[in-house]
Structure 1
Amino acid sequence: MLVSRNKATNSLLRSEKKSLFRFLTLYVAMVIFMITLLSLFYYQSQEKLMLSDQRAMLTKYAYIQTRRLKVLHHFFDERTEYPRDPRFKSAIYDLEHMKIFSLLQDENVRFDDEEIYIINDHIHLVKMLDEFYLGTKYLIIEVEDSGEWRGEIWKNIVGFGFLAFILFILFGLYLAKLFLRPMRNSIVLLDRFIKDTTHELNTPLSAILANIEMMDTDVMVEKNKTKLARINIAAKTVSVLYKDLTYLTLDQEKENHDEEIEIKELIYNRAEYFAVLAQSKHIECNLDLEEAGITMDRRKLTRVIDNLISNAIKYNKRNGTVGIQLREGLLVIWDTGIGINEDKIPFMFDRYMRFNNSEGGFGVGLSIVKKILDEYHISIEVESTEGEGTRMVLRW
């Protein structure tokens, strides 16, 4: 069982929003990954360019230090001080990578394929000597890395990366509009069709209902009574649909005429209106009503009650039950019908959303219900178990 408090749908249906959210999430993730990858390549290329520039200077320092080591090697008996230079630090290692002498600030020397590398804000050049002066095979030249090049790189990455991100997002929104346009066009076309056809339904429907009420059933044979009951059921079903479509296309823009409404009396009247429809499916109606009032437009409250009761009957099983419970600030309408899968509950208030193709309707009733309830700050909770029934709980 799942309880769902659904938000009102505005310009986009929830299904549209979900599709748009999924597309943009995947698109943004791909954009971020691509920008990150390009930034990494740019950083590495700039780092290699910087090291290439440093290599020439450090090679020059290595040449100077090698000449000093040569002099020290040949005059070791007279000179025992390791040559120093204010421009760089140096160290000497033997063939086995054992340290002979070091002035390095960072002793983490890497004897691998990299001749020059950055480590802990220092740049090392590893120079292999052809002659073993003082037993030296590896001469390490170290200079400090100021980090200025790194700051310039990050400034470029952040600046151009942000600009590229904005451009890609704008392009993504354009793609999303193209992606949703067929769905939106279909909805607009359906809205237009409903608006055009609604005007043509009123006169014949009113005539059918009026003539049904005027017929004298006492003089009819039982066979004709059954046929008339079927016509009455069909006409009232179409009447509810017509009122929904009229509200959707015309009435919702009208100014509200709020008044204090006795809900108990209104529910009795609407339950009696749908009695014929309930009897056709042998559905029992349990009413547990107490006095309760609410201030709102009677026309809109009627639309809410009609849709909830008609759905409870429409999606019920034969010989099922519809229950209505009314308390002050609480209205519960439940049924023992087919229920709904919990994954579909969040979408049941979307316009044109239908979950049972065997029943009629455009899928606008619950959308109207949710819009009216949101307008009057009335909460609705949906509890449904597939195959067992549905329970609508309204609180104000």
Structure 2
Amino acid sequence: MKSYQFRDAFIRYTLLLTAIMFVLYGSLIFIYNNQVNTEIKETSEQNLKDLKVDIQSKESINKGRYYIIQSKGHIENHSKLSYATISKILERMKNSKSYKYEGTSGIFYIIKDRMDQKTIYSITDVSDYEETKDLLYNLMLFLMLFTLLFIVGAAYYLAIKPIRAYEEMLRSHQTFLQNTTHEMKTPIASVSLGIDYIKALEPNLTDKSLQSISKMKQEIQYIQSLISKTLNISSKIDRVAVNIIPILDYTIEQFENLFQMKIERNYDASIIYTVNEDDIKQIMTILLDNAIKHNCQLVDIRVKAMIKEQHLILEVIDNGIGIQQDQIPFIFDRYYRGNTGIEGSGLGLDILKLIIKQYNGTIEVQSEQYKQTKFILTL
């Protein structure tokens, strides 16, 4: 399962909300701009009609109305525009029926029509319309900047929400683990005292019995150390330079005795590495338990250990049923169980991944069904 990336989520939410903002405000500006332009055009066309009626009826034309009449090269200017400006406008309107002129005297929308061998240009002052549009654009720009600040806050909230939920779940999970392990301390301590009591009451135990009791005591101490680590989950793990081989041998022997099988070992002559002993025991316990649990007891298991380029390399290989290629990416997910017919919680490999992560190490899985499965750990 891919880990949650706050930065990617924050950017994704910001871009999504910003896109929605631009679509919303862009649509409003587009609609309003079209309405204003339509109103300008309708007003100009109506002014042209009124002007043509007034000219045909030879009535006096309102002095506030601007227009130009062009006839056989002669130009009548009934506007506040200069003749030089009018000449430029007429030149540009040779192949066009409308033109918007912006100058120091204002903004004008000009349309033309023919009447009695004359060309009439109706000039409508649209400065108020354009000022209204500019006011809208400035208002929209202010609102967009304000909305953008809101979007950043909303994107941060949406991106951080899963992290806070995860942190709360993690706190609950840690509290549950600590409460559970704390309750386990007393019965395990009682078992440890009971073993000591047996040794004290039975001084004539055989060597084999003493050896079994000693191993039981070691396992109880190992469980007690795991409980201690859980109760002090935030504390720094003690790591010292140790010889890895006796730790591997001890863990392997426990499985050999329990399952009455032989596990092949292939180590370097001496392997000294800085680790926590309990971590090595837990790593091997998880890997050997999986190799046996997911295969029959006739499976052959090999354990390799070496130092390569100042890193500890551990390999556990079995010739069992293997893992399907499409399942390999998911086997380290918490509670994932590739084979639901086998008893288990689906936590082992997830715990293994967390241990390896503490050492900034890597895990590689190579598997071919019904031939071989190999776990390669680099610490």
Letter in 2 for 1:380: I
Partner of 2:264 in structure 1? 286
CA distance in 2, matches of 1:156, 1:348: 52
What is the aligned-residue RMSD (CA, Å)? 5.5
Q: Distance in 1 between matches of 2:191 and 2:19?
A: 60
Structure 2: distance between partners of 1:181 and 1:375: 19
1:154-206 CA-partner distances (Å, limit 9, x unpaired): 63354033133134325535864797699668745753563344325524665
> Who is 1:103 aligned against?
91
Corresponding position of 2:70: 72
> Normalising to structure 1: TM-score of the pair?
0.60
Deviations 1:3-35 (A, max 9, x none): xxxxxxxxxxx57838x9999898667534432
Q: How far apart are 1:265 and its partner, in Å?
A: 2.9
Where in structure 1 are there 5+ consecutive unaligned residues?
Answer: 1-13, 92-100, 220-228, 230-234
Shift of 1:272: 0.9
Aligned residues: 341
SS of 1:51's equivalent?
helix
Query: Residue 185 of structure 2 aligns to which amino acid in structure 1?
Result: H
Residue type of the partner of 1:317?
Answer: C
Write the distance in 2 (CA, Å) between the matches of 1:200 and 1:117: 92
Question: Per the alignment, do residues 315 and 179 of structure 1 end up closer, same or farther by CA in structure 2, a change over 3 Å counting?
Answer: same
1:259 aligns with 2:240: yes
Q: Name the TM-score, length of structure 2 as normaliser.
A: 0.62
Paired residue type of 2:287: L
Provide the secondary structure at the position in 1 that maps to 2:92.
Answer: coil
Q: Which residue of 1 aligns with 2:27?
A: 41
1:319 deviates by 1.9
Deviations 1:332-377 (A, max 9, x none): 1122345445555445445555444444554444344333333333
Q: For the residues of structure 1 that align with 2:258 and 2:94, how far apart are their CA atoms?
A: 89
Distance of 2:198 and 2:317 partners within structure 1:
30
Residues 332, 392 of structure 1: 8 Å contact kept: yes
Q: Which residue in the other structure is 1:191 paired with?
A: 177
SS in 1 for 2:317: strand
Aligned to 1:392: 375
Q: Assess, with a 3 A threshold, how the Cα gap between structure 1 residues 21 and 376 changes in structure 2: closer, same or farther.
A: closer
Cα distance 1:136–1:251, how it changes in 2: closer, same or farther (>3 A)? same
> How far apart in 2 are the matches of 1:331 and 1:355?
23
Q: Give the stretch that moved more between structures: 255-264 or 204-213.
A: 204-213
**1:162 lines up with 2:119 in the alignment:** no
Shift of 1:209: 8.3
1:369 aligns with 2:370: no
Q: Looking at CA atoms only, which structure, 1 or 2, has the larger radius of gyration?
A: 2
SS at match of 1:377: coil
Deviates more, 1:238-247 or 1:159-168: 238-247
CA–CA distance in structure 2, aligned partners of residues 24 and 385 of structure 1: 40
Tell me: higher relative CO, structure 1 or 2? Use CA pairs within 8 A at least 6 residues apart. Answer: 1
1:17 aligns with 2:4: yes
Once the two structures are superposed, residues 23-51 of structure 1 have per-residue CA deviations (whole angstroms, 9 ceiling, x without a partner) of 98986675344323212223214424653
Using the alignment, how far apart are the partners of 2:238 and 2:178 within structure 1? 27
**Could you tell me which of 244, 258, 272 is aligned with 2:253?**
272
- In structure 2, the gaps of 5 or more residues are 56-65, 102-106
Over the matched positions of the two proteins, sequence identity in percent amounts to 18
Question: Structure 2: how far apart are the matches of 1:106 and 1:374?
Answer: 78
Cα distance in 2, alignment partners of residues 60 and 90 from structure 1: 24
